Amino acid sequence: MSFYGVTDLWTYVVGAFGIILLPGPNSLYVLSVATVRGVRAGYQGAWGVFVGDTILLVCTALGAASLLRTHPALFMVVKYAGAAYLFWVGLNLLRGAIAGLRARADVLPAPASAPRSAATAAHLQRPFRRALLISLLNPKAILFLLSFFVQFIDPAYAQPEVPFLILSAILMSFSAAYLTILIFAGARLAQTFSQRKRLSSGLSSLVGGLFVWFGAKLATASLN
Number of domains in the chain: 1
Rounded Cα distance, 163 and 57, in Å: 13
Residue 112 in any domain: the answer is yes
Structural domain including 114 reads: 2-219
Using alpha carbons, list the distances in angstroms from residue 209 to 13, 29, 84, 131, 190.
Answer: 31, 12, 14, 18, 20
| 59-87 pLDDT per residue, tens | 777 776 566 667 778 778 777 877 787 77
Residue 26 in any domain: the answer is yes
Provide the 3-class DSSP secondary structure of residue 4.
coil
Backbone dihedral region for residue 126 (phi beyond 0: left; psi -120 to 50: alpha; all else: beta): left
Residue 195 in any domain: the answer is yes
Rounded Cα distance, 82 and 76, in Å: 10
Burial status of residue 126 (CB atoms within 10 A of its CB: 0-12, 13-18, 19 or more): middle
Decide which of 194 and 211 is more confident.
211
As a whole number, mean pLDDT of residues 15-24 equals: 78
- Which pLDDT band holds residue 1 (cuts at 50, 70, 90)? low
- Which pLDDT band holds residue 180 (cuts at 50, 70, 90)? very high
Rounded Cα distance, 50 and 26, in Å: 10
Decide which of 105 and 28 is more confident.
28
Residue 115 in any domain: the answer is yes
Rounded Cα distance, 138 and 80, in Å: 9
pLDDT at position 111 is: 41
Residue 224 in any domain: the answer is no
Residue 106 in any domain: the answer is yes
| 128-178 pLDDT per residue, tens | 988 898 888 776 666 666 667 767 777 677 777 788 888 888 988 998 999
Residue 11 in any domain: the answer is yes
Rounded Cα distance, 158 and 129, in Å: 38
Cβ burial 200-220 (10 Å sphere, 16+ → b, else e):
bbebbbebbebbbebbeebee
Q: What is the pTM of this model?
A: 0.72
Rounded Cα distance, 167 and 179, in Å: 18
